[in-house]
Each structure stands twice: as C-alpha cells, then as structure tokens.
Structure 1
Amino acid sequence: MVESCWEGMHKPDPHIYKLCLEHLGVQPWESIFLDSNSQNLKAAAQLGIRTVKVNDPGVALKELEACLGFPLQGFVPYTRSVRPNMGIPKDHLQKYLESILGDHTAGPLVLRQFGHGQSAQTCSVKFGDQLLVLKKEAPDSPHPSGSVLRREYRVLKALAEAGVPVPTVLALCEDRSTLGSPFYLMEHCAGRVYSDISLPTLQPRQRRALYAAMSQVLSKIHTVDLRAAKLEDFGEHGNYIQWQVESWTKQYRAVETHVIPAMERLMEWLPLHVPESQKMTVVHGDFRMDNLVFHPDRPEVLAVLGWKFSTLGDPLSDLANNCMGYFLPPHFRALPGLRQRAGGPLGVPTAEEYCQMYSGHTGTERPKNWNFYMAFAFFRLAAMLQGLPRHPTAGRSASGESSPEDAEFVAELAWEFAIKEGFRVFDSLPTTKPLAHRRYSTWAR
C-alpha cells in the first residue's frame, strides 16, 4: 500500500507512479492504472502504464477484463485463457448445453482452461447460472476412440454412488460432430488445491489434519465394494504389478534417449521380486495431494481429480505413489517434495506415520516388502519423465519443467529402495547349518 499523504507526493506526480511500480516489483507495461481523472491517467500513460478510465464502473470493468484476457466476475481459480489449439466451437457447445441443461442457460457462455491435465483438455464452462467442467479428448490422443474418457466417466459415476468424494458427472458425449472429439461434463467443485505438500501457509495442526483427510479418502477408494459398484470388470484380474512393470518397461524403451544404468538394473530386478499375493481394489493410479480439492475451511476432501490411470490393481501402489514426495527434494521440478527440509515441516507426518494413518483406516498393516513398492513407484515415475518430451506426465507441467537428469535422479532413487528390499530379504532368510569341512580348495584356477 502506498499512501500519498505519508509519502509526501500525489497524483499526477510521476514519482508516485514510479514508487508504486517499485513496491509492486513490476514494469510499467505489466501494470494497469484505473482512475476517473484524465490528468492522472495521462501522467500514468506517459510512463508506459496501461490505463482504464472509470466513468461507468460496469464499462470500466469490461475494459479491464479485455486488458487482462479473463473475466473478473465469477472468475474460476486455477484457470487461464483458453489456448487456440483447444478447438472448441462455442456455438456447438452452447447448443449441446441448452439440450441437457434446459432452463438454466440464460447468459453468455464463458470458457476458461484449467492448468491441470495435459493428455486431455479440461475447461471451466460458465453458462447461465451453471458452473461446469468439460473434459475433452485431445486431438493427438494416443487413444482416439474415446476409451479413456469413457472409463473415467464410468468410474466417477460409480465411485460417487459408493460415497467416494469425486466430481458429479452429468453427461458423456461421444458424437465427434459436436466438438470434434469425445468429451464429458461434470459439476465444478470449488475448494482449495495445494501444489506444495509442505503446506507452508498452514499451521502445524492444520497440516496434520489435511494429511489425515488425504489418507482417509485414499482408504475410501480402496475399500469400495467392486460388485456393488459394478466395477468388477474395470480392469484385468491378476498380477497388476507385473503387468505395470511390463507396460512401463515397453513405454520407457519406446522413448529412451540414452542408457540410464539404474533403469537397466530395475528392469531386470523388478520382475524377479513382484509380490506373490496382491489385493485387488480400485486404484487411482496418480494419487497425490494436488489431485485433491479440499474444503476451504475444514480438513475435508471434497473431490478427487485425475482419474486417467484408474483401474483395478494393488492398492499399495497408490499408497507408494502418494509417499514419493517424502523422498524428493523441494526443488525437484516434476514433483516438489519434502526431502532435505530440516526436521520436516511442523505438523506434517513422517512417511511412516502417514502409512500408519492409512493402515488405521483400512485395518491393514504396512507390508514387509514396502521397499519394493517404493522402488516400483519411482521406476514408474522415471519412465514417465523419460517420455515427457513426447507425452507429458499426467497432471504435471509440459512446459519444460523436467529434464533427462530428473529421470536419472528418480531411477537412482528407485534403485536405492530396491537395494533396501534386497537387504531385507537377505536378513529374513533362515540361518543354515555350516557346511562340512572340505579338504580341498574351491577357488577357481
């Protein structure tokens, strides 16, 4: 705040504008000045500041919105202007919305693009008194049949009926003549999304409460009755981990740019140590904090987002994926974590405490081969990061926020967990009787 009486200067003195720019830390062309006085506006414009004259507030607001490129009335957080390559014909969309919403369609159609979601195009849709989210298949989708969106729509509808907090889906459209590719609509869920898992803006007790809420909703996903939810055929029944290792190995080989020794070792080690028995539940496939919408005032998850990788599988893979942040440094571009923070942020549970929270909800214990699951989770992430230039990692930025060094770092981390698991297995082997004394040497000549 800059007060003219305190600073001893006032409009239209150029110095007060310069002081404001200095306090804001912006250049003149990065700012907009609103005023009703022409002299004040002229002085600001001479410095290169964009100006908006305020005679009628409504007119001025529209002019300001035009300068900013997004609406200020009913603005939706976490959105940006729609990219030109979205290719959404607004007239076609408006007709479709009128057909499914009926009388709730008075008013302009406003589209905004969410920052989340790279493989599919996700938009905020404001039409009349309705605020919706549209998820559309990307033009270059590796699954142009719309099968991924169809699966997402199905699982969201089933989980909502099972009591899992997910967005309410409204309609699935597979007619390509409408928007050019399949899409579905769901209700917008207002709340808070935390991208920094250290939760720096919260108090210690609030941090712990949010982690507890996160563990609870993960357990809720994993305890859904498959038969009651009619999801028994939502994925293959069998060795989920083995199938995942094989699948990600193929994808890694397809986009491999150079040899990463740790990945070579992991691709040999993982298939030999796949758990013999695995529980079969709905798995999210990309469960982490920034895929959750929290209530703004209390520790409650309002909606779980990002269901692209959902299927039937081993729930411990979700838990391991959720725990990766504990072992990644804060500066890691693809997925900033908690590692190397002195003592950890106050209130944030340790990885072991978080697993205990989850186990308390599910009535299970953390498995002895937990290190295997962490090795698998980081192997999968390394494979994703290696392929980032061609197919961006789900939910993560595609704007150059990862590098080949990131894949190498994560692969080494995965191998560290594999080594820990190897030591655990070795230590658990039964003690054998000493061999009988030999009268000859066993050294090779």
Structure 2
Amino acid sequence: MYPWSIARTAPYLLGAGMRQHLQGSVHRSWSGWCRYRAVIFHAGGALLPSPYKTAKDWEARNCLPAGTIQQAVFSGGESSLSLKYTRGELTTVEFLQELGRQCFETANVRVPVDSLLPDLIREEMIKQLPIMAEALQCIHAEGLKTALLMDNFCLLNGQSFLPLQKHFDVMVEPYREGMGKADPRIYKLCVERLGIQAQESIFLDNNSQNLKAAAQLGIKTVQVNDPEVAFQELETCLGFPLQGFVPYTRAVRPSVEIPKGNLQKYLEDVLGDHTTGPLVLRQFGHGHSTQSYSVRFGDHLLVLKKERSDSPHPPGSAVGREYRLLKALAEAGVPVPTVLALCEDRSTLGTPFYLMEHCAGHIYSDVSFPALQPSQRRALYAAMSQVLSKIHSVHLKAAKLEELREHGNYLQQQVETWTQQYRAMETRVIPAMERLIEWLPLHFPASQKTTVVHGDFRMDNLVFHPDRPEVLAVLGWKLAALGDPISDLANSCMAYFLPPHFSALRGLRKCDLGHLGVPTAEEYSQMYCGHRGVERPQSWNFYMAFVLFRLAAALQGRHKQSVAGKPAPPESSPEDVEFVADLAWDFAIKEGFRVFDSLPTTQLLTRCYSTWARRGPLLSRSYGTWSCPGAAPVPKVPLVAPTASLLGLAQSLHSKLENMGIQWGFLISQPRWTPRPLLELKVRHPPS
C-alpha cells in the first residue's frame, strides 16, 4: 500500500499554478478579509461523538441508575475524577479503579468498570464526525491554522489510541501540562503555540466551563451541542464554505466567480438532463493565463479550466491548445486526464473553457517519500522515468501535434523568453544571472532532438495510483511544446540539487539516497535513457544550468509579485533566487571544463595527472602526480621552463577559454576560484 504523503504541494513554475500553496500571513476569504487566523477544536467535545450516550447504554446494561457515571466522574469540584485525570494526576488504570469505587459509593453496586473503556474506544466512537472532518480540511485549504485540545486518550499501557495530531498544526494536551481544560492558562498556551492573538481564534467545545475559560482571553467560542448547528455557526464566523472539499482547492474568490446558472445549463447539455444535484464549485490555485475550478455536479467530479479575462494570450488560444494537446496525448497512450468538452462560446462563462474528468490519486510533494519503504520509493522513480519516456516517444505526425512546432530553436526561444521575463521582474543585480544570460546563448548543444516536451515535468505534476507505482495522469501541460526532450529530463532532476526544505521545491540535496532507496540523478537518467534507447547527453551540465536558470527567473517573478502585493504562489526571497542562480552557474562552469577537456591540446598542455597542493616552502615541491591508466606519457619538461614557453602556455589557455565564451573575470569572481598567493604565477612578456 502506498500511503498518501501528507504535505502541502509544491508549486509549478511561474504561471502554471494548479496547486499553489494557499497559506499566508493574512487570509483572504471568499467574502472578504477573514478576521480569524486559527480554529481550536476540543477533541472530545467537537471532533468526536459525545461519550454520554455510550455511558448511559453501559449503565443500563450493568443495572446502574442513570447518571451514575456522570456523577462519579464530575463530582468533587477541583478534586473530581475528571479534572484529576485531565491534569494527568491519575493514570488510566488508577482512573478506572477510582471510578469503580465512586460508582459503588453512589449506587452501592460493584460493577466491572474495566468493560467501559472498550465501549469508549470502539471504532464508531473514535472516528471523527464527518461534518467536522470536512470542515477541518476546508479550514486548512484557506490557509488558517488549526489546534487540537486533546483529552487523555490513553490505553492501559499509557499509549494513545487516538493519534490525531497529524491533522493539526498544534496539539495541546492539558494532562501533560498539568492544567485542566477549564483553566484559562491552557488556552493562552494554545494561542501562543499557534503564534496568534487570542482574538484571532475560534474555539469549539460542548462544555460551557471550558468555553467560559477560553472566552476570558477574548477567544471567540462556539458551543457544540448539535454538530450541525455548530457547523453552521462556524461557517458564518469564518465567512467561507466548510463543505464540498476537494484536495488542492479552496473557496472561490469573488473576483473569479463564474455564473453558476449558465454553467449548470451547459453541464446538463454535456452530461445529459438526467444529471441532478447541487452544483458545487471550488477554486484551484493561482494561474497565469487560466483559472481552474473543481466542479461537483450530481455524481460527477470534474475540473474546469477557463481562460482569464486578462490573459496575455490571444482569445481562446491557451485553453483550446491545451484541450487539443490532452486529447491527442490520450489517443497516443500518454496518461493524462480525460477531456470532455471545449466551449469557445464567450457568452457562456465570459471566456473559453474546457472540461476534464478529475483524476483521483496520490500527488507527492516530498520527493523523499517519508511514508514509504525504500523499494517503493525506487519504484515510483522508475514509473516517473517511464512515463517521461512515453511522452517523448509520441509520434508527432501520427498524433497530429506538429502544430505545436514553433519557428526557431526551442532552447534559444526558452532562454530569450525567460531572460525577458527576468528583466521585467528584476529588482537587483544578481551576478550569476548576468553571467548565465551571457553564457547560455553561446553554448546551445549542437545536436538537439525534437519531441513533445512537457515544460515542467516534476514529481508533483504526477498523479499516482494509491496502491501501486503507476502514473495515472500527468498534470500541468500549459508550458508544453515541441522541443528538446533532455530539458524535461533535466527539469525532473532539479530536486537532486535543492535542499529538502527549499521554499519553492523540496529537494534531496545531502540526503542519503542509498538509505532512502532513491536512485541517484545518474541512475534515474539511465532509467530514462534505457526506456528510450538513447545515450545520456554529453551536454548534461548545460541542460541543468538551463533549467535552474529558468527556475531562478520564475522565483524572481514570484518575489516581484509578492513585493507588489499581487496574488502569487508562495513568496520567494532574493536569497532563493541567488541560491538557484549560483547553482545554475556551477553547472555552467562544469560544462565549460567538459568542453575544455574535449578540445585538442598540444603536447605541452597534456596533463594526465593530478596535483594536490599543500602549504610548504615557496620553492619546495608541493604536489604529487598519479598517471591516468592508458594516458599518453607525460613529457619531461624542465623544472624551470623558459619564460617564452610559459607565455605560450598562458596564451593558449586564454585562447581556449575565449572560444568557450568564458572570461577570466568569471573564474576569479568568487573566492573559491581565487588562487592561493603562494601558488599564483604571474607571466609577463619578455623584454623585447
């Protein structure tokens, strides 16, 4: 079984945003600014069924007067069993022993209180109320935080039988803190851990004393006597719907609402008049040229992609192109969502749109798959490489996709487009970006294949089968074109070089891939090349420099948008942009040295040995030589070479670097390229 990796999904490149991170410091609700930033649930009083009915049934079976359990648990004020257990002063075993004694004193009957615990923890009693579970998902989708006030749900061995914490940002357990739930300090602790003010939170519980304690701090309270009524009150307070949840969606914002009446009529025409039921719309993340909605109508769950009214593309071109592409790819055997209909009549929803089926499955944003086993991780990467090979193997003429071809060189167009994008969003000079803008156009690979390219092929654009390592659908086709397939392969390898907690894309840098069972970048590339029957490209470092340059340009755009206060994917800092740009330039340098090594050399410049410098006297020999197997013999050169020979060596080296488009300033611009003073060799022209 492949359990869902529960994580917020990473965003696409700028403008692709079907699944953007929706969290921020200020939360925009569908009806206006939401004044609340967090919702606090009491587990036993809001999320789970009330235990009182179970207690009454147990009393009846054991011939106890009605109310015996409640009296035994709550009588005694500050010394009551309830408060002592809540504060952690009693273990579960001690609580049950004391409960038996209290029941005997109250009813003068000895009862098997040990049998009460199994009744309280049976499946239907520890399962979240469906209405509240869905509300919790909708709250998270809007970017609000959630906290759980946890009861002492422990078995006789002290282990919790109700691990709910994975669904919440914060969990507070009064019995571990030594406080009761009617103590205002426990709510103060809760809001502090949430990082908010008390007035920015809502607390749900069925106990009036607990609600009173929370209200003393200024927390908005909702009493849960009837879950349905409490649900409606919470929805009113928050100002956005708490039902109809679909993963990666949120409530539709007023600025992008669509006429539901027109849409319903269109759906009835497409799906048939027999389709009935309420029409429920939710919105996917920010899109650059299209808007995406989840559409639930009757038994159908669909995705609607609609052109924005302010789209930079000609009317209908973006959605129409994507619809035809997905239809052709599906016919060619590529796993993509099934498209249903294209509507180019602007009178229906204002702009052209198309419908496709929603593809249910698992989308992994964490490329290390923490919940899986090593063999499962490797299998997912193998499936990823296989589906990429399938995309690149589509026969263009047979699939009638030659219309995607654009005039000119694909990589050249990409570099020019992203350079323009970067210049338009530039906020400061980043040296590595300046170098890349000069270097990339001079080093396009001489040989480039042409296939369908996805444009943003990554793990979080794949929908996996929940039970086996199979890609059910490839998402995010907005950047698709006919181009160089190795750019897709390199794009899918970016995560290998980014840190695990990088804001834009979780990576694998410095992770123990062998321990995780994740193939290395080279092994993954070989999987892909094996599927396609091709050799690994010689210019691999160029492609990595290119895709990282593209990512840096996209991050710069996000940063500029966030600074301007415009709706955007997760914020990107200048440091993020610079980090990725430096990484791209590192690959450019590697490519430069690869080209340098491939150039013909004179006998004087043959160096098939390594030099390992160390500190030592100025004139002492401070290196060792190890000949490479099969290398040409190293010529014997006098220890002190003539000045003219050194000058020729320097001039030849300089000429080679010029041919590669590398300037000396690039090589010495960072500390790691600065030679040590004792080893620096200055070559001057001999006197004439």
Q: TM-score range by the shorter chain?
A: 0.7 to 0.9
How do 1:4-403 residues align onto structure 2 when only pairs under 5 Å count?
8=84, 15-16=180-181, 30-31=201-202, 33=204, 35=206, 48=219, 50-51=221-222, 53-55=224-226, 69-72=240-243, 75-115=245-285, 117-236=287-406, 238-341=408-511, 346-389=516-559, 398-403=568-573
CA distance in 1: counterparts of 2:576 and 2:208, whole angstroms: 54
Distance 1:430 1:61, change over 3 A: same
CA apart distance, 1:144: 4.6
Aligned residues: 436
CA apart distance, 1:9: 5.8
CA apart distance, 1:331: 2.8
CA apart distance, 1:201: 2.2
| Residues 385 and 527 in structure 2, CA contact (< 8 A), matched pair in contact too | yes
Distance 1:199 1:283, change over 3 A: same
- Bigger shift: residues 202-211 or 274-283: 202-211
CA distance in 2: counterparts of 1:20 and 1:128, whole angstroms: 44
CA distance in 2: counterparts of 1:203 and 1:117, whole angstroms: 35
| Residues 457 and 492 in structure 2, CA contact (< 8 A), matched pair in contact too | yes
CA apart distance, 1:103: 2.6
Distance 1:416 1:125, change over 3 A: same
CA distance in 2: counterparts of 1:356 and 1:67, whole angstroms: 55
CA apart distance, 1:238: 4.9
CA distance in 1: counterparts of 2:489 and 2:592, whole angstroms: 21
What secondary structure does 2:422 align onto? Answer: helix
CA distance in 1: counterparts of 2:364 and 2:287, whole angstroms: 15
CA apart distance, 1:146: 2.6
Distance 1:101 1:268, change over 3 A: same
CA distance in 1: counterparts of 2:642 and 2:500, whole angstroms: 56
Distance 1:66 1:172, change over 3 A: farther
CA distance in 2: counterparts of 1:391 and 1:176, whole angstroms: 29
Q: In structure 2, list runs of 5 or more residues that go unmatched.
A: 1-42, 45-50, 52-72, 74-80, 87-150, 152-173, 606-640, 648-683
| Residues 252 and 281 in structure 2, CA contact (< 8 A), matched pair in contact too | yes
CA distance in 2: counterparts of 1:103 and 1:255, whole angstroms: 49
| Residues 286 and 568 in structure 2, CA contact (< 8 A), matched pair in contact too | no
| Residues 182 and 210 in structure 2, CA contact (< 8 A), matched pair in contact too | no
Q: Which amino acid aligns with 1:368?
A: Q
Q: Which amino acid aligns with 2:350?
A: G
Distance 1:183 1:44, change over 3 A: same
| Residues 262 and 349 in structure 2, CA contact (< 8 A), matched pair in contact too | yes
Q: Which amino acid aligns with 1:422?
A: G
| Residues 134 and 185 in structure 1, CA contact (< 8 A), matched pair in contact too | yes
Q: Which amino acid aligns with 1:417?
A: F
CA distance in 1: counterparts of 2:210 and 2:288, whole angstroms: 44
Distance 1:23 1:439, change over 3 A: closer
Distance 1:345 1:51, change over 3 A: farther
Distance 1:46 1:411, change over 3 A: closer
CA RMSD of aligned residues (A): 3.3
Is 1:429 matched with 2:599? yes
| Residues 427 and 560 in structure 2, CA contact (< 8 A), matched pair in contact too | no
What secondary structure does 1:388 align onto? Answer: helix
Deviations 1:144-179 (A, max 9, x none): 523121111111111111111111111122222222
CA distance in 1: counterparts of 2:210 and 2:425, whole angstroms: 58
Distance 1:432 1:331, change over 3 A: same
CA distance in 2: counterparts of 1:6 and 1:424, whole angstroms: 73
CA distance in 2: counterparts of 1:337 and 1:440, whole angstroms: 50
CA distance in 1: counterparts of 2:515 and 2:342, whole angstroms: 42
| Residues 558 and 569 in structure 2, CA contact (< 8 A), matched pair in contact too | no
What secondary structure does 2:281 align onto? Answer: strand
CA apart distance, 1:31: 4.8
User: Radius of gyration: which is bigger?
Assistant: 2
| Residues 41 and 53 in structure 1, CA contact (< 8 A), matched pair in contact too | no
Q: Which amino acid aligns with 2:473?
A: A
Q: Give me the TM-score of the superposition, normalised by structure 2.
A: 0.58
CA apart distance, 1:330: 2.1
What secondary structure does 2:404 align onto? Answer: coil
CA distance in 1: counterparts of 2:234 and 2:514, whole angstroms: 43
Q: Give me the TM-score of the superposition, normalised by structure 1.
A: 0.86
The corresponding residue for 2:577 is 407
| Residues 44 and 51 in structure 1, CA contact (< 8 A), matched pair in contact too | no
Distance 1:343 1:299, change over 3 A: closer
CA distance in 1: counterparts of 2:359 and 2:247, whole angstroms: 11
| Residues 286 and 318 in structure 1, CA contact (< 8 A), matched pair in contact too | yes
CA distance in 2: counterparts of 1:341 and 1:384, whole angstroms: 25
Distance 1:209 1:400, change over 3 A: closer
| Residues 556 and 572 in structure 2, CA contact (< 8 A), matched pair in contact too | no
Deviations 1:239-292 (A, max 9, x none): 211221222222222332222221221122111111111111100001111111
Q: In structure 1, list runs of 5 or more residues that go unmatched.
A: none
CA apart distance, 1:324: 0.7
Distance 1:390 1:84, change over 3 A: farther
CA apart distance, 1:93: 1.6
Percent identity at matched positions? Answer: 68
